[in-house]
Structure 1
Amino acid sequence: MERIFLTKYIIITGGVVSSIGKGITSASMGRILRSYGLNVVAIKIDPYLNWDSGTLNPYQHGEVFVTNDGMETDLDLGHYERFLDVELPGLSNITTGKVYKSVISKERKGEFLGACVQVIPHITDEIKRMIRNISDKREYDVALIELGGTVGDIESQPFLEALRQLRNEEGSDNVMFVHVTFIPYLNAAGEFKTKPTQHSTKELRSMGINPDVIVCRSQEPIDDGLKGKIAHFCDVDSKAVVNTPDAGTIYEVPLVLEENNIGKLIVDRINLDVIPDSSKLDSWRDIVKSLKIEEPEVTIGIVGKYVELEDAYISIRESLLHAAASIGVKANIKFVSSDVDELDEEVMKSLDGILIPGGFGERGVEGKLDAVEYAIVNKVPLFGICLGMHSIVIQFAKRNGYPDANSSEFNEKTEHPVIDMMEEQKKIKNMGGTMRLGSYDCKLVKGTKTYEAYGEEDISERHRHRFEFNNEFRQDLQDKGLIISGTSPDEFLVEIVELPDHPWAIGCQFHPEFKSRPNRPHPLFKSFLEAVHEHSKN
């Protein structure tokens, strides 16, 4: 089928070490191009065999980001959405599992006419099909494609080959490669070392791919001499060696890249019909300035069980920063482990606000319930998300006639399961087969703090859960004071609760952190930060 709109492709690979910042680099380039008025989509390729990110351990992979259409994806899609201010489709996360499952399904249907199915051409063709399928959904000017992992990884090789083929098929004027590497500094030698970058680039070139731009990550800035050396040995133009040293905030990276003229490099390399203009990022500069405010400061505790790895709560952290900046305060975020016998009283006293995030499983729940109790007794602003909402409901029930109240997720035999699984969900056997995944509509109740925060009655938010507020206890808990401020449009499912006689205590079943943007903080987070700031004055 003839393609009627030509999308340009920017492919981002990584070298030397993992977790080098390819996602932020990709998102930042997207932000620059968006500021020029271009329509941009971003794609993340994850070479692992999992079909999606839904069952991955947060300690190993960070948070699971959820798209509007209900796909559980890599956290980099969160960066893309926040920087580009777009809503990406679940198709934007391609995994080895998805590729192989699609190819095997086609083979079983006889679509290959008895051919011997091989990595080349069948797997590589499927990878290219998935990429083009995304870029063909709308008239995108540019598609950013980030390949996860590090060049040299065995599992990345089919994807590199497919991307090499994509360049040949689309034309070299329409596809460019950006290689992100790390420049280590050796204290013993007293100098930066470029050899790892040289070897990484050589590995990439051995796959038939010559990078057009090399983005050098480093702890401190590198000088022009080092850039020239990298350009010489890696066979790129000296102007195409870009340094991004560690920044005070990730939102500075688009500005750093633009200072290095990467926007012009991209426009010239793939012949984009725009004029690069640094002033188009002025509104982004204002955002960065507001994010770097130092006072007044408020302290917010994220009470969760994955706090050893902050990336497990990355969208929540960024949402707090967005909201704080929007009201002119600095958010000092403390990660408090709920997986303890007793919460540290001194730490809890230092908090101006408490946020209890989502999670799965019984571990750490008692600590979350203790945090709810502390917030109730001490009138500390309290925000519960997903399991955090469940914790608020359970603790409220314990205080109001149901001392053994619990969730059937943690105790299947509890006599008072104020949180329970819907009957139709009990039939699902596969992990990740949740029925409440992605965007669902919600109706707010006027006169509540939630309605005041949103300023509208009908909203839509993203979900990721299987357990719900149990309607068997709904009327009784309401009679005892619990405020239900948001429900599904048919009023059957409870979406949002508020505690009575409290300055600000809201629990929501959905995940509002997935929709927050640096230029558009989420209404609930903003309302929460306003309450936190007010509490900090007392």
Structure 2
Amino acid sequence: MARFVFITGGVVSSLGKGLASAALGSLLQARGFSVRLRKLDPYLNVDPGTMSPFEHGEVFVTDDGAETDLDLGHYERFTGVAARKTDSVSSGRIYSNVLEKERRGDYLGKTIQVIPHVTNEIKDFISIGEDEVDFMLCEIGGTVGDIEGLPFFEAIRQFAQDKPRGQCIFMHLTLLPWIGASGELKTKPTQHSVKELRSIGIAPDILVCRSDKPIPEKEREKIALFCNVRKEDVIAAPDLRSIYEAPLAYHREGLDQAVLDAFGIHPAPAPNLSIWEDVADRVFNPEGEVRVAIVGKYTQLEDAYKSIAEALTHGGMANRVRVKIEWIDAEIFEREDPAPHLERFHAILVPGGFGERGTEGKIKAVEFARTRKVPYLGICLGMQMAVIEAARNVAGMTTAGSEEFDHEAGEKRFEPVIFHLKEWIKDNETIARTVLDDKGGTMRLGEYDATLTEGSNVASVYGTRHIKERHRHRYEVDIKYREALEKVGLCFSGLSPDGRLPEIVEWKDHPWFIGVQFHPELKSKPFAPHPLFRDFIRAAKDTSRLV
């Protein structure tokens, strides 16, 4: 039966609970334990799938088709454990489940209340799969004191009470602000945060204190005294040069040992940190640098493309180079020539997105990459823009476009090379959708198979002809245009097993030009870079040598 670690946050948000949770998971793995990580989010959206990337950052997609918080990406990247639908839940999902049960009459006419019905639903969620792993790490979103988070805090308090003594511990992440005028780290915000946590019945076993300065021994002792934890359980979390230094940094601070001590695990198995030592060496000792332009729609918030940025870093690790990313708003190219902006880059990436804004700029970026022979990777919408660019500028279909941007397709005012997918096969079942369906959870989501063309560039990159990748989209390239586009050199080098849905396109006469309908960045890890990103950066590295 699993031991549970509940990770909470205080003082301010965005302190790095997700990263701390992921790093702890990797350290427990390094000691030979199996782990699973979960995220409990207090917001009322059923999932983040319908949220703007400016509002919430990227949506991470699991193999089984869940749209989840980006922290699950951290969990996967640091532990290699594939997340599942049961690893992410929100208040919206919890309340939706409770109300569905009430409508069915499952509560036998009782008055439905937060306690016990909502808290029981949360506890049931936490318990899923508890017999499968040694440790279950559950991160509670937001900060202690948030009104929307109270049911979750009450649920984990009850959960710890329900379990045998010693099976659950609480880890609380807080901020130690540095006051420049007095030259001091202030512990009072941490003390108040712990006081708030204790007032709702939760006493932290371990405190993780974020600070941009080392914690003096005197302050560490003060925190331990006033927050009622051992001094050894006050863990410093200083700012790091790279997030991939986190497992080693937390190990040096004794986080994994503190957790094992809290559970009474003696003697603790010795950790094998060789994987993370190699990762750190590749991050901090590059042998060159490549510059990659990401031409996108949500460039004002880097978290909107978090997994892409990390996957590019992983590709750099594999090639022993530092990847310098520059974010370029695609709309700029709708007003200006892209050449002055893109000439200084060794590679260009156009990521996914929704809606028409910026698409003409992305098409111009694609044209620049194709005609100037610059390595290009198009992801999801980035692949569709590559197909439209080829249809317009090479195949002579000057009115080529997408049903996503022009709903007059039925009147044939443009050539819809990209169409709204209304039916597809998932696990031998037919799934049907219409444009009138709800937005949330109705896309082609999760892991699907694809078959690669023998002898194609992408088959060489993967080293196999059969792959599984994660999808998140509702528009597809229309297979009926395949013949016309392949005649001018755009190869459809990856298809769904039934041959109906194009998954990958590439230019035969280009050094490196690949567009994929799926999201390869979601499967990349620092110790196992995704083949596409590894080879994309290799191509960028080769380009840099020619400049």
- With structure 2 as the length reference, what TM-score do the two structures score? 0.95
Give the secondary structure class of the aligned counterpart of 1:135.
Answer: coil
- Given that residues 338 and 364 in structure 2 are in contact (C-alpha distance below 8 angstroms), is that contact kept between their aligned partners in structure 1? no
What's the offset of the Cα at 1:172? 3.4
Deviates more, 1:314-323 or 1:423-432: 423-432
Aligned to 1:449: 457
Aligned to 1:313: 305
Q: Distance in 1 between matches of 2:537 and 2:294?
A: 13
The answer to whether structure 1 residue 261 and structure 2 residue 254 are counterparts is yes
Give the secondary structure class of the aligned counterpart of 1:145.
Answer: strand
Q: Partner letter of residue 249 of structure 1?
A: S
For each residue in 1:212-238, what CA deviation from the matched residue of structure 2 results, as whole angstroms up to 9, or x when unmatched? Answer: 010001122222211111111111100
Give the secondary structure class of the aligned counterpart of 2:139.
Answer: strand
For residues 274 and 48 of structure 1, do their structure 2 counterparts lie closer, same or farther at Cα, with a shift above 3 Å needed?
farther
Aligned to 2:448: 440
Give the secondary structure class of the aligned counterpart of 1:537.
Answer: helix
Q: Distance in 1 between matches of 2:264 and 2:331?
A: 54
What's the offset of the Cα at 1:185? 0.9
Aligned to 2:9: 14
The answer to whether structure 1 residue 193 and structure 2 residue 186 are counterparts is yes
- Given that residues 128 and 166 in structure 1 are in contact (C-alpha distance below 8 angstroms), is that contact kept between their aligned partners in structure 2? yes
- Given that residues 208 and 236 in structure 2 are in contact (C-alpha distance below 8 angstroms), is that contact kept between their aligned partners in structure 1? yes
Give the secondary structure class of the aligned counterpart of 1:426.
Answer: coil
> Unpaired segments of 5 or more residues in structure 1?
1-5
The answer to whether structure 1 residue 281 and structure 2 residue 269 are counterparts is no
Q: Distance in 2 between matches of 1:473 and 1:86?
A: 39
Aligned to 1:232: 225
Q: Distance in 2 between matches of 1:93 and 1:159?
A: 13
- Given that residues 264 and 276 in structure 1 are in contact (C-alpha distance below 8 angstroms), is that contact kept between their aligned partners in structure 2? no
Q: Distance in 2 between matches of 1:448 and 1:404?
A: 29
Q: Distance in 1 between matches of 2:191 and 2:56?
A: 28
Q: Distance in 2 between matches of 1:112 and 1:422?
A: 40
Q: Distance in 1 between matches of 2:177 and 2:185?
A: 6
For residues 292 and 71 of structure 1, do their structure 2 counterparts lie closer, same or farther at Cα, with a shift above 3 Å needed?
same
What's the offset of the Cα at 1:343? 5.5
Aligned to 1:3: none
- Given that residues 338 and 368 in structure 2 are in contact (C-alpha distance below 8 angstroms), is that contact kept between their aligned partners in structure 1? no
Q: Distance in 2 between matches of 1:94 and 1:509?
A: 27
Q: Distance in 1 between matches of 2:85 and 2:266?
A: 29
For residues 503 and 58 of structure 1, do their structure 2 counterparts lie closer, same or farther at Cα, with a shift above 3 Å needed?
same
What's the offset of the Cα at 1:269? 1.2
Aligned to 2:340: 346
Aligned to 1:85: 80
Q: Distance in 2 between matches of 1:273 and 1:50?
A: 43
Q: 1:519 aligns with which of 522, 527, 531?
A: 527
Q: Partner letter of residue 467 of structure 2?
A: I
Q: Distance in 2 between matches of 1:233 and 1:433?
A: 46
Q: Distance in 2 between matches of 1:94 and 1:86?
A: 18
Q: Distance in 2 between matches of 1:488 and 1:203?
A: 53
Q: Distance in 1 between matches of 2:236 and 2:165?
A: 25
Q: Distance in 2 between matches of 1:257 and 1:195?
A: 23
CA RMSD of aligned residues (A): 1.3
The answer to whether structure 1 residue 60 and structure 2 residue 59 are counterparts is no
Aligned to 2:371: 377
What's the offset of the Cα at 1:339? 2.3
Aligned to 1:528: 536
Deviates more, 1:167-176 or 1:289-298: 289-298
Percent sequence identity over aligned pairs:
48
Q: Report 1:329-344 matches (<5 A).
A: 329-340=321-332, 341-342=335-336
For each residue in 1:150-176, what CA deviation from the matched residue of structure 2 results, as whole angstroms up to 9, or x when unmatched? Answer: 100000101000000111111330100
> Unpaired segments of 5 or more residues in structure 2?
424-432
Total equivalences in the alignment: 530
Q: Partner letter of residue 530 of structure 2?
A: H
- With structure 1 as the length reference, what TM-score do the two structures score? 0.96
Q: Distance in 1 between matches of 2:506 and 2:59?
A: 26
- Given that residues 92 and 134 in structure 1 are in contact (C-alpha distance below 8 angstroms), is that contact kept between their aligned partners in structure 2? no
Q: Distance in 2 between matches of 1:39 and 1:356?
A: 37
What's the offset of the Cα at 1:261? 1.6
Aligned to 2:426: none
Q: 1:473 aligns with which of 473, 477, 481?
A: 481
The answer to whether structure 1 residue 507 and structure 2 residue 515 are counterparts is yes
For each residue in 1:246-290, what CA deviation from the matched residue of structure 2 results, as whole angstroms up to 9, or x when unmatched? Answer: 101111111111112221211121134772424x11221111110
- Given that residues 30 and 83 in structure 1 are in contact (C-alpha distance below 8 angstroms), is that contact kept between their aligned partners in structure 2? yes
Deviates more, 1:100-109 or 1:426-435: 426-435
Aligned to 2:416: 417
Aligned to 2:38: 43
For each residue in 1:328-354, what CA deviation from the matched residue of structure 2 results, as whole angstroms up to 9, or x when unmatched? Answer: 111111111112222654331111000
For residues 126 and 343 of structure 1, do their structure 2 counterparts lie closer, same or farther at Cα, with a shift above 3 Å needed?
farther
- Given that residues 293 and 325 in structure 1 are in contact (C-alpha distance below 8 angstroms), is that contact kept between their aligned partners in structure 2? no
The answer to whether structure 1 residue 140 and structure 2 residue 133 are counterparts is yes
For each residue in 1:410-469, what CA deviation from the matched residue of structure 2 results, as whole angstroms up to 9, or x when unmatched? Answer: 122342111111234335510124341000000011111100000011110000000001
Aligned to 1:170: 163
For residues 344 and 228 of structure 1, do their structure 2 counterparts lie closer, same or farther at Cα, with a shift above 3 Å needed?
farther
Q: 1:26 aligns with which of 16, 21, 36?
A: 21
Q: Partner letter of residue 420 of structure 2?
A: M
Q: Distance in 1 between matches of 2:417 and 2:196?
A: 57
